[in-house]
Each structure stands twice: as structure tokens, then as C-alpha cells.
Amino acid sequence: MLRLFVGIGFPPELKLQLSLLCSGMPGAKWVDPGNFHLTLRFIGETGESLAADINEALARLRARRFTLELAGTGVFGGADKPRSLWVGVERSPELVALRDKIEQALVRSGLPPEPRKFSPHVTLARLKHPAPDRIAAFLAASAQFRAEPLEVNSFSLIASVQTKAGSVYEDQADYRLLP
């Protein structure tokens, strides 16, 4: 079984820029900078046969290249039960169109539709019982974060492999976008 998701990888310089945000929150489990990415669709545990069908469906997908901008920070779970810190993604019709095409391809491959609303973000940390004042301070300090625009030329089918040191992401296939 493979634990799969579809995502957009980042170049080393963007991963470094994101990693500079990862401090100042006691109890946060920071994402390893090598694992920073934008998830387009989480798939989950998948057998080899379905994984092959997914790969074929994604390989047939046609979408155009586009520019992505990461900006701002936030928290999932709200003030009463914060679960994770994230960097936001500026509104992008091209990103939503790509995500919709991926969703359609995966449903045609036999996966159930994704029930959650697409909320593009880059997870920085998972939280366990953080102090509300520390979250407020982190969000205030990082509110003006803005990365250089990222040219998105491809997306990937990625396996998440669990190790004692945490998750390791391995690209299973890359899919080029049209010029």
C-alpha cells in the first residue's frame, strides 16, 4: 500500500524562505523544510493497481502553466482549538482549475470525491496545546510574509513514507504543464 497525494513541489530557495518562519512557537511540531509543498489532493492509502490507474489518469490531464504566490500566515482550528500553522496562497483561478481537473481525473479513476473544500496552503507546523498569546505573536510577526512568485510548470504524485524520524515524501511521477 502507498499513502499518496498530488502536490506541487517547491524549489530549495522557497523552502529556505519558508523555513525561516519556523520558530517562536513552543510545542509546535515544525514540518521538515524538505517536505514543504502545496497539496492539491490527498488520496490516502492506495493499492498498486489503483495507483497505476491514478498515474495514467493524471498523465492524460492537460492544463497550462501558471504563477503561484504565497503570502500571509494563519491557523487552522480557530482560537479555541488551533491545530496547525500555515502560509497562505494568493487567489489563483489557474490553481483552482488545475485542482478541479485533478479531482475529475481521480474520480474517473475510482476514488470517491473529495468532500472538503479546497483551501490551498503550505503547512508549517502541527500544534498541540499552544499558548494563545504565542499564536497571536507568531501571526503578528509573520503576517507580512510574501514569497517571490513561483512559476508552476508541473505537479507530482507523491508517496508519504512513514519513518521513525517522521514522514519522507517521494515523488512517484511528475506531470508537465503546457506552456
Which of the residues are catalytic? 37, 121
Q: What are phi and psi of 55, to 5 degrees?
A: -60, -45
For the chain, how long is the longest CA-to-CA vector? 48
Q: 124 and 42 in contact (C-beta within 8 Å)?
A: no
Q: Give the burial string for 72-91 (b: 16+ CB within 10 Å, else e).
A: bbbbeeeeeebebbbbbbee
What is the sign, positive or negative, of the torsion defined by CA atoms of 118, 119, 125, 127? Answer: negative
Q: How far apart are CA 160 and CA 170, in angstroms?
A: 7
Q: How far apart are CA 113 and CA 157, in angstroms?
A: 17
